[in-house]
Structure 1
Amino acid sequence: MANSYAQPILTTADLSASLRTVERLLAIADLQGLEIDFEARVRSEQVLSALLDLIPDAEWWAEEGRDGSSEDSDDPAEHLPIRLRGWAMPPETVEPFLDAVGDSPASVRWDINGWPQAPEVGLGIGGTRGAFVTLCLHARDLDLSQPSPDHTVFVHVKQIEADRAPWLAAQVGLTVIGDLKMAPH
């Protein structure tokens, strides 16, 4: 996975509004080969059980300086709180994931093939490297370290194409609302 640079374009307590913004961004993107990545900070067995039903081969590791991980074939329920990830999921798993995480900090990242040409800012078609949309649930940051009662939508671009982020925001009637920062892996 290549590094991308992400910029927030919407923060709202309305999950439906967040999802509509994501849908509008995806409508202008090249979705060939679309994959979805999930991440969640899990503190309860109920959320863990729901997520493992959806993502049985999830990658996970214990948080807060404790040992335990899927790599070591440990039981995740014995190591809560954990960080859990699911990679390359199909689009139809987004809604079940949103239901499963409840109010846990989580993210959904749409890995797209590329962004459209942005002639107004002198940019051609943007390729796969750096082309993502992320919805952070109950968190204000991509690391999920800033819990929040609301949700934030980020657009990802190549650093050299930083002007594409405000252009993308404008395509869906919004503006950027924070700094462009390197996204975590």
Structure 2
Amino acid sequence: MVSVSNSYARPILRTVDLSEGLRIVERLLAIADLRDLEVDFEVRISSARTLSPLLGLFPDARWWAEGDGNGSSAKGDEPSAHLPIVLRRGARSPETVDPFLDAVGDSPATVRWDFTGWPEAPEVGLDIGGARGAFVTLCVNARDLDLEEPANDHTVFVHVKQFESERAPWLAAQVGLRVIGDLVMAPY
């Protein structure tokens, strides 16, 4: 399942405890329609020490050089010669989350769970939410979905359709939290 349009996301948790972030993700997934569940990954890599295990996990990942670099997987280049790079791999099974998180170390990364839909939210007048706005993202060592704000903490975002923005605070409340930031357009 590949998203063809952008979703909108709101942060609901910021924590230094990665396991706490993962627990909130699990609680959100427990209320979602998980048919067609896939996980997408993105990481900014600046060292060969981080690159090697990630290429071992995702040998077919797409990557491209950051900044003035022009290397990429599309050109068949060697990624270690073009650091720093952004590496992306989509449509993986949930079992790849833990190995990915072990491999990223302190690199900024995102893990995005894509699924069929959110449940009905009658308290805010919303029917079942469809796939276009049904994601949860855990930003690791970053505060934003674009990985441009490195941090020593981790942020959980819930994704919704823009015209169903009231679903985000409703979802946060379902796991005992509240939104802690603005609704932002997700990068992909």
- The alignment's TM-score, normalised by the length of structure 1, stands at 0.99
d(CA) in 2 for partners of 1:131, 1:65? 34
Q: How does 1:79-158 map to 2 (within 5 A)?
A: 79-158=82-161
d(CA) in 2 for partners of 1:65, 1:26? 39
Aligned residue type for 1:139:
A
Match of 1:46 among 41, 45, 49: 49
Q: Percent identity?
A: 70
d(CA) in 2 for partners of 1:141, 1:108? 12
Runs of 5+ consecutive residues of structure 1 not aligned to the other structure = none
d(CA) in 1 for partners of 2:58, 2:92? 9
Q: 1:65-100 deviations in whole A, cap 9, x for unaligned?
A: 211000100000000000000110111000000000
Q: Aligned-residue CA RMSD in angstroms?
A: 0.5
Moved over 2 A (4+): none
d(CA) in 2 for partners of 1:180, 1:121? 17
d(CA) in 2 for partners of 1:75, 1:118? 48
- The alignment's TM-score, normalised by the length of structure 2, stands at 0.98
Runs of 5+ consecutive residues of structure 2 not aligned to the other structure = none
Q: Look up the SS of the partner of 1:136 in the other structure.
A: strand
Aligned equivalent of 1:31: 34
Aligned residue type for 2:76:
S
Q: Look up the SS of the partner of 2:112 in the other structure.
A: strand
Query: How many residues of Structure 1 are paired with residues of Structure 2 in the alignment?
Result: 185
Aligned equivalent of 2:165: 162
Q: How does 1:59-98 map to 2 (within 5 A)?
A: 59-98=62-101
d(CA) in 2 for partners of 1:23, 1:80? 33
Aligned residue type for 2:68:
G
> How far 1:130 sits from its partner (Å)?
1.3
